Structure 1
């Protein structure tokens, strides 16, 4: 999203009682719009008993949180003061020692990203922790705050435009349709063939999703293996090229995911490729 205008905001939200601010996209990141009403609101003290603060703090807390150990800096002291002053808990990090890399030959690895929680969260969820997920595209690891599992359940059949990205999809649909042998009046034939076509597509999607998720998992595991290897020794040319190829392959899967979630969210005012799959996901589930 290169530019955000009043016209775009009006289409999204209307003209009355609202303010907005936007951050331009940079490549596959950013593209955030925040809109709020001008009506005043209040927050009671009990609304902030359980606090979670997470993100890229752009500094480490201790010297050993970097692969090149240095001295204690002012920014490190400020981060510790913020955590201690706010009575926050710096959660245990699972899955990696560092959350950021400069991806350069002179390798720098740092723990810049973290999730902080208030003591009330730890009292309610004593086994809460943060897990560093692989970084297939970004130079930062995603952080997962592990609490419980969630399942959205089955969804009704809808045509997903991401299926059309598969080069063989059109041919499969044609073959399935022509292979059906249904007799009766034309309306009945059409209805039965559409019903059967849905079943064929569902089965194909199930198999394709299973195969794709398996491949994505394989890529993430391999990238995680290379990241951990890099924490001990710089990667050679072969390993760096292998990681680059895996990232390109993974980016194609992510691009298809974004097309799918974009359609489900009906957020057609955003361009494909803004890197906001999670935004689309939340909007789709909220409907």
Structure 2
């Protein structure tokens, strides 16, 4: 169920109504839908207008779980001073398939062997950055294949284990289970416990909520936060030279050409600062040209959060921490290539 806060007759909601509405929202546990493309939804239409966000949409937690790929945007206000809001129920954000590095992979046997085997091939007569990119792509493909062979779909395995337990429970209602059936039921219960823990770990990692404990059982909350992040981070359109681009290929090309044009462009400062007149202490800057040391790079990596902000290639900081003995030489070469 969606609740809309805009009053049809008045431009502003009465404060008393807002207090009662706030208590109502807290009672039914709802969340505000993210508005894409607009900051304000109301104006007083004056010469120097007042802009406010009056029109809002809220949905219950059950509705958010039913429509995780919803998308809400603003329409033209036409002759009104309010902006209509249009929610769509099933809009899947387009994204190029990439690696989702799972944190529990590092705890499984064979992980480092896969990384070492995929990291070994290299490119001849290539710069350090190209070699790093080549090796990371190899590792991503190898880890995907290894995960599908040895782990598979956690959600599917959990559903199968639950179905087997349900069938055995129904059988137990009519007759005693055999020794083999009892052992299978016990084994499936253990697998359910482990798979449910893996499912919570994956959901927590997707949500990027690092302040909650690893074993927190609120998987529903994790899924809702992950869906909210996905919708909020999605770019629906880009305006380039007065034209609105909505196709993903066009937006990707526009971003690529924009930043490619900036590289190598001379920059002229409009103003300068005379640091000598500030009386600042003088420092020896000769060490700035010295190559990076391995211990400096490792000290920085070891201090970074393990599961926050994965790189565009999908690898988190945890990968660099665990696989450091294998990848350190190429990482150091890339740093010193600067």
Tell me if both proteins adopt one fold, taking TM over 0.5 as the criterion: no
| Higher Cα radius of gyration | 2
TM-score by length of 2: 0.37
- The structure richer in strand per residue is 1
State TM-score, norm by structure 1.
0.42
Structure whose residues are more often helix by fraction:
2
